[in-house]
Amino acid sequence: MKKIVKRGLIFSGIVLIALIVLVVIYGTLANSELKKMNTIPTGEIVENIFAVQESYVNMYLIKDDSNYIAIDAGNDIDVVAGSLKKMNINPDRVVAVLLTHSDSDHSAAISLFNNAKIYFSLQEEKLLTGEKSRFLFFGNKIDAKQYTLIKDQAIFSIGNIRIKGLLTQGHTYGSMCYLINDKYLFIGDALSLKDGKIDEFPSLFNTDSKTAKKSISKLTNLPHAAYIFTAHFGYSSDYQEAVKDWKN
């Protein structure tokens, strides 16, 4: 019996050491990738579209009369609150949060928006219920008990804003992009921008990079799109130029 216990302890120790090594390696590689990211300073980018910058990630707000729609909800609630105050935007005027996905750097400030309805894709809910995992056997959590699920290609309106949801699986199981008024494309982590051209998102952070690459093709044939806004690699005001050389 003592030998069995001893072997069990040795095996558990080996597994624990292996996990620690993997975490350290992943953290080192992740930090290297984060340094390559290029975000937009907090402020109005184009008319009625605002960015909130938190080191390596952006969230966005779209103004509609006196209200706002948020695209994602940032990485740090205190930073988001401070940035909104700087721009004289009352978080109570945010009536909706459209999550591109449920990773913590895109959803941390949800509770700041007391009057907002939360939206994300039907497939992404599986990460919250445990049906799908994000990394290894871990899922995601968000600070919202009620939310609205969106199907691929769904078109709906919030105030005067017309929204189309485009399912772009790969970064997470249910990543979704949002085409606003047929002109402004918010893509979260579906892709990156390099020298004004779209490119793949760093594979280190993807659930399935092969699927992510296929999903990008869904974003390259939007005839009225003019802008692309990413969460980590800035934005482009020339959609056609950005997508024209993409090959799946």
Q: What is the DSSP pairing of strand 148-150 with strand 155-158?
A: unpaired
18 shares a domain with 60? no
Domain CATH number, residue 174: 3.60.15.10
Question: How many domains is the chain built from?
Answer: 2
Q: What is the DSSP pairing of strand 57-64 with strand 43-46?
A: unpaired
Residue found under tokens 């799946």: 248
Q: Please tell me the predicted confidence (pLDDT) of residue 93.
A: 98
Beta-bridge partner residues of 150: 121
Does the residue 213 lie in any domain? yes
231 shares a domain with 126? yes
Q: Please tell me the predicted confidence (pLDDT) of residue 216.
A: 97
Does the residue 201 lie in any domain? yes
Kindly give the parts of the chain with pLDDT less than 50.
none
61 shares a domain with 14? no
Q: Tens digits of per-residue pLDDT, 229-239?
A: 999 999 999 99
Q: Please tell me the predicted confidence (pLDDT) of residue 3.
A: 60
> Could you tell me what percent of the chain has a pLDDT over 90?
79
Long-range contacts made by residues 239-245, C-beta under 8 angstroms, separation at least 24?
239/185, 241/196, 241/197, 242/193, 242/196, 242/197, 242/198, 243/198, 243/219, 245/197
Distance CA 173, CA 138 (A): 13
